[in-house]
Copies of this chain bind each other. A is one copy, B any other.
Amino acid sequence: MITIGLDMMGGDYAPLEAVKGASAFMAYNKEEVHLVLIGDEEKLKLYLDGNSMNPSTYSIVHAAQVIEMHEHPTKALKEKQQSSIAIGFHLLATNKIDAFISAGNTGAMMVGALFSIKAIEGVLRPTIGAYMPRENGTLGLLVDVGLNADCKPENLNQFAILGSLFSEHILNIPSPKVGLVNIGEEEGKGNILTQAAYPLLKENKQINFVGNIEGRDILMDKADVLVCEGFTGNVVLKLAESIHDLTKRRNIQDEYFDRFNFETYGGVPVLGVAKPVIIGHGISGYTAFKNMINIACRMMKTDLTGKIKASFS
């Protein structure tokens, strides 16, 4: 039995979309997953009432407080110990749940992941990635997308390992190709960081390094894991998100550009922390919640955390 904790109060459409997402997931669940729904019990019962979820497949943990989207992460986590996020991390840290998912305050989720769960030994900096849709229907993984704005070469090298393991075991890409996001294709090109990271990646036997990739390759399938520091990654992710908004606003109907709807992917786990933590987009809809529960399940079933530990031991 896998026990997954879900913050029902996080995200712009909470708790309704969280309830719908949990329900959609449970419709296909073969009794191997138990959901722990964390949030305002009274509200949750109200929303759950009209729902078809089998009451034996979930339990509710009451949270009297909510960390709002714009609160200061560290301060809020400290002061709102009865918030759904604080309770979620407490449950995770004390093994009451196996994984924790929230579409709430991103900063608070990161602080919680890094300080109440901590990094896997050997991981200098946990990271967070984002999917990049490709024309061939698959997903690339851009990593880091904002958790680490300033990086050392060794950080990029570790992101490559973490991203490769996620890509292989969760996205089912065997021997994922790792590309270093850079300016210029040849070895030796780039800024100080990428020039220094290149040889580390090249010599890293744990990954399938294919060399530098440029901005034009990010949406292509030249590499499956696209490694960069979190500054560039975050700018790229948000630019890609805006492309989706633009295509929608301009009534462009296209199967591929529809997949730029990052709301549906539901977030990528914080990679490199000791337990599965998934941070969703604030505007997560029910598909996103369903997908996040799915990813948490796959992480547990494939023992991704164990595989990461083994890689860094």
Interface residue stretch chosen among A20-28, A32-40, A42-50, A241-249: A241-249
Partner of A215, one of B217, B219, B238: B238
Chain A positions 203 through 236: 1 when the CB is less than 8 Å from some CB of chain B, otherwise 0: 0000000000011111110000000111110111
Interface residue stretch chosen among A94-102, A250-258, A276-284: A250-258
Chain B residue contacts of A235, Cβ below 8 A: 181, 183, 214-215, 218, 228, 232, 235-236
Shortest A257–chain B CB gap in Å is 8
Is the C-beta of A1 less than 8 angstroms from some C-beta in chain B?
no
Cα(A220)–Cα(B240), bound, Å: 13
Shortest A212–chain B CB gap in Å is 11
Closest to A231 in B: B191
Indicate how many identical chains form the complex: 2
Cβ A234 vs Cβ B256 within 8 A = no
11 contacts across the A-B interface (CB closer than 8 A):
A149-B183, A149-B191, A149-B192, A183-B235, A216-B239, A218-B239, A219-B239, A236-B236, A246-B257, A250-B256, A252-B257
Q: Quick one: which of A217, A241, A242 has the most chain B CB within 10 A?
A: A242
Chain B residue contacts of A245, Cβ below 8 A: 216
Cα(A230)–Cα(B192), bound, Å: 12
Is the C-beta of A153 less than 8 angstroms from some C-beta in chain B?
no
**Given A149-B183, A190-B231 in contact, is the A216-B242 Cβ separation under 8 Å?**
yes
Task: Count A-side interface residues using an 8 Å CB cutoff.
Answer: 40
Chain B residue contacts of A254, Cβ below 8 A: 250, 252
Chain B residue contacts of A238, Cβ below 8 A: 214-216
Is the C-beta of A237 less than 8 angstroms from some C-beta in chain B?
yes
Shortest A237–chain B CB gap in Å is 6
Q: Quick one: which of A235, A237, A239, A256 has the most chain B CB within 10 A?
A: A235
Is the C-beta of A146 less than 8 angstroms from some C-beta in chain B?
yes
Closest to A107 in B: B184
Cα(A192)–Cα(B190), bound, Å: 19
Chain B residue contacts of A232, Cβ below 8 A: 231-232, 235
Within 8 A of B (CB), among A46-73: none
